Structure 1
Amino acid sequence: MNRRHWRVAAGWLLAAHGLAAGAAPRPEVVASGLDHPWAVTFLPEGRFLVTERPGRLRVVEASGKVGPSVAGVPMVVAGGQGGLLDVVADSGFARNRVVYICFSEPGGVGNSTALASARLSEEGSRLEDLKVLFSQKPKVVSRSHFGCRIVEARDGTLFLTLGERFSRKDDAQTLDNHHGKLVRIGKDGSVPKDNPFVGKPGALPEIWSYGHRNSQGATLAPDGVLWMTEHGPQGGDEINIPQAGRNYGWPVATYGENYGGGKIGDGITAKEGMEQPLHYWVPSIAPSGMAFLTSDRYGSAWKGNLFVGSLKFGYLDRIELKDGKVVAEHKLLTDDGKRVRDVRQGPDGLLYVVTDESNGQLIRLLPD
């Protein structure tokens, strides 16, 4: 091997070592000019489907061109934290063109979180056969804590995170309502027979777990188990692995405190019969969006890492795990301080991020 070949080989080795050691990827703006985008899902031929919180759904071409508003989107309560929120393409999208959307649904006595299915037309210009699969009960007058992340489980059921609407935090501890709950339903809106509260008097059968505050991040781990993040109040943001029928503590046990200071309830962080978080943040980072990296695109040190967006501090958190525990965190995309609303791994194995701004962006992270 001549000297030039040695230099080339050495360069590749150094690059590989840099990625293995956790070198920062290079952000590439795929699209901009999005109005407070909330979520991204992936379509065939390198296209994307992006929600905008004011109530619009956009197809973004592989070239980065942002299309006109998709017709057929349901009416939403657009204000505060509400609007058109999550979107997920069905695992069989190539065959059925079905997508699931989560939104703040208006009602006669307030609003609530709702989940609908629809077919995206062949040309991508409209939603067809829209069907509301689930509506959170009861509706209340609130502009906060909608939750609204959708995850399709490997068995084909749908998980949906639901906030406790801020003013109804005590509802998170009772099973006769959907506030502060994680629910699980079938793709037709039916209740799976193995849900933990099916047949229990006084309990709504859609409920999977309870005692949650406001989850805006949820994803499947590589082994197919659901993970979720949730906002604490002032401090106490959490990562949880929600298990059937379990109580995750809010607002009885929390590592946060009231806005402006002061304990919440009895000011305890643990109580018998309530689950402890896998991890928590003090101060709050305001976590939103959540994805595991399963590809090799960024080197061996990144594979299996968990990625969580921070709205408060404007970065993407790369989280190293070992034996189911958080062992290290690394802040990415810190230069611009943009609010990271969503993060997902694309079909190409790369990570994609959307930023929650009036001139929001869809960003692709390239191995450096």
Structure 2
Amino acid sequence: MLRFPCALALLLCAAPSLALTPPEGADSSEYPSERGTLRVTSIVEGLERPWALAFLPDGRALVSEKPGRLRLVSDAGELSAPLEGLPEVWAQRQGGLLDIAVPPDFEHDPWIYFTYAEAGDDGRAGTALARARLEGERLNGVEVLFRQADKLSTGNHFGSRIVFADDGTLFVALGENNQRPTAQRLDLHQGKVVRLNRDGSVPTDNPFVGDDDALDEIWSYGHRNPQGAALHPDSRALWVNEHGPRGGDEINLPQPGANYGWPLATHGIDYSGQSIAEAQGAEVEGTEPPDYVWEISPGVSGMAFATDERLGEWQGDLFIGALATEELIRLELDGDRVSHEERLLAGRGERIRDVRQGPDGALYLLTDHDDGKLLKLELLD
């Protein structure tokens, strides 16, 4: 059974009694599952296209809304006004305010990190990473740490997720801006996982440092549009999920310098029903096959390993949101191999954008709608 070391998990272990309390009269429903009855309770409603959730050490939570707003949720389930101090966000189509992340050693690194779509000079945009100090209900001292170069998106495939590694670096998963060939180009950031120091500088042991034909920030390449990422609680390896085109959503475990194939290798086809022009097959020599693949795309987004023993028989499982099929996906693992899949919450009609484990051991979900919700998910028996 998986165990998450407390030295590496301040937010999960330092305050086990903290929880987001549902407001009086909150909607609550129960559903069957293979592991028992699960209860879904609405904590917050009325969010506009919420994208990411992150817990602070004091039990409050931060929620990003795609139009460019960041909110605080109190431990009593009260929603703040939008925080002041965010940089300008390019909120068009799939662009907007994206991931939000709190470092696991927040007491030593008291910054809030976030990604967002940033406008370029030609009507296009790209993903940027920034950090700021949270002071009251305002972000101060905003520092832009990284900008996707070049800015190529007309509104699609920004990614992105932030993951803090144990060595003090961080990973940022980046979409290919719907410009397929860029995922194979090492002189561009599109379709890459990048690894940075927390001040935005480049770690000297990144795989392409010293290669004049590649960008130093790149960790892995050949990704399409990754929207879920997390560290495996035992191996501490990075796991990433990404959208395929029409079919071929994937889970990958990005290794330094490795090529994950897009668009040369894919299990999917174009939305038009035609083959991907650049594709050479489902598996192509010189590229890494996916560790897990969905031939029919659920529209994966968000990722959380269930590590808390209070989750009972869910402990050790991996949870991923599904936008297209409007479900929560539960994956049982045997080491780095997915051994079983269960679909949960079908029939609610809610696109699940993000999945996080809270400091109280419960799972929390964000639903991607104009009237989006923050939901609490508990296994009852």
TM-score, normalisation: structure 1 = 0.91
Q: Which amino acid in 2 is paired with 1:219?
A: A
User: What aligned pairs does 1:156-175 form with structure 2 within 5 A after superposition?
Assistant: 156-166=168-178, 168-175=179-186
Aligned match for 2:66, one of 39, 53, 68: 53
Question: How much has 1:45 moved relative to structure 2?
Answer: 3.1
User: What aligned pairs does 1:1-368 form with structure 2 within 5 A after superposition?
Assistant: 22-109=35-122, 110-121=124-135, 123=136, 125-166=137-178, 168-223=179-234, 224-264=236-276, 265-299=278-312, 301-368=313-380
RMSD: 1.6
Listed one character per residue, the Cα deviations across residues 298-351 of structure 1 (whole Å, up to 9, x for unaligned) are 21x321111000000111100011142212111112231200000011112211
Give runs of ≥4 in structure 1 deviating > 6 Å.
none
Instruction: Specify the SS of the correspondent of 1:161.
Output: strand
Bigger shift: 236-245 or 101-110? Answer: 101-110
% identical equivalent positions: 50
**Whole-angstrom CA distance in 2 between matches of 1:85 and 1:184:** 18
Listed one character per residue, the Cα deviations across residues 83-127 of structure 1 (whole Å, up to 9, x for unaligned) are 001000122324553110100011212210000011100x2x100
**Whole-angstrom CA distance in 1 between matches of 2:218 and 2:279:** 26
The 8 Å contact of residues 320 and 326 in structure 1, kept in 2 or not, is answered as yes
**Whole-angstrom CA distance in 2 between matches of 1:278 and 1:162:** 19
**Unpaired stretches in structure 1, ≥5 consecutive residues:** 1-18
Bigger shift: 343-352 or 143-152? Answer: 343-352
**Whole-angstrom CA distance in 1 between matches of 2:292 and 2:57:** 36
Q: Which amino acid in 2 is paired with 1:119?
A: R
Question: How much has 1:276 moved relative to structure 2?
Answer: 0.4
Name the counterpart of 1:11: none
**Whole-angstrom CA distance in 2 between matches of 1:189 and 1:206:** 9
Question: How much has 1:46 moved relative to structure 2?
Answer: 2.2
**Whole-angstrom CA distance in 1 between matches of 2:224 and 2:172:** 13
Q: Which amino acid in 2 is paired with 1:107?
A: G
The 8 Å contact of residues 263 and 279 in structure 2, kept in 1 or not, is answered as no
Question: How much has 1:142 moved relative to structure 2?
Answer: 1.2
Q: Which amino acid in 2 is paired with 1:202?
A: D
Q: Which amino acid in 2 is paired with 1:196?
A: P
Larger-gyration structure (1/2): 1
Listed one character per residue, the Cα deviations across residues 192-219 of structure 1 (whole Å, up to 9, x for unaligned) are 0010000011100000000000000000
**Whole-angstrom CA distance in 2 between matches of 1:329 and 1:141:** 34
Listed one character per residue, the Cα deviations across residues 282-310 of structure 1 (whole Å, up to 9, x for unaligned) are 210110000111111221x3211110000
The 8 Å contact of residues 311 and 361 in structure 2, kept in 1 or not, is answered as no
Bigger shift: 260-269 or 244-253? Answer: 260-269
Listed one character per residue, the Cα deviations across residues 51-94 of structure 1 (whole Å, up to 9, x for unaligned) are 00000000011111110010001101101110001000122324
Instruction: Specify the SS of the correspondent of 1:44.
Output: coil
1:145/1:20 CA distance change after superposition, 3 Å = closer
The 8 Å contact of residues 20 and 302 in structure 1, kept in 2 or not, is answered as no
Instruction: Specify the SS of the correspondent of 1:337.
Output: coil
TM-score, normalisation: structure 2 = 0.88
Question: How much has 1:174 moved relative to structure 2?
Answer: 1.3
Listed one character per residue, the Cα deviations across residues 147-202 of structure 1 (whole Å, up to 9, x for unaligned) are 11000111111100110000x21011110000100000001110000100000111
Instruction: Specify the SS of the correspondent of 2:159.
Output: coil
Instruction: Specify the SS of the correspondent of 1:81.
Output: coil
**Unpaired stretches in structure 2, ≥5 consecutive residues:** 1-31
Question: How much has 1:21 moved relative to structure 2?
Answer: 5.5
**Whole-angstrom CA distance in 1 between matches of 2:34 and 2:301:** 26
**Whole-angstrom CA distance in 2 between matches of 1:47 and 1:190:** 30
Question: How much has 1:50 moved relative to structure 2?
Answer: 0.3
**Whole-angstrom CA distance in 2 between matches of 1:287 and 1:40:** 16
**Whole-angstrom CA distance in 1 between matches of 2:263 and 2:34:** 40
**Whole-angstrom CA distance in 1 between matches of 2:129 and 2:153:** 19
The 8 Å contact of residues 253 and 271 in structure 1, kept in 2 or not, is answered as yes
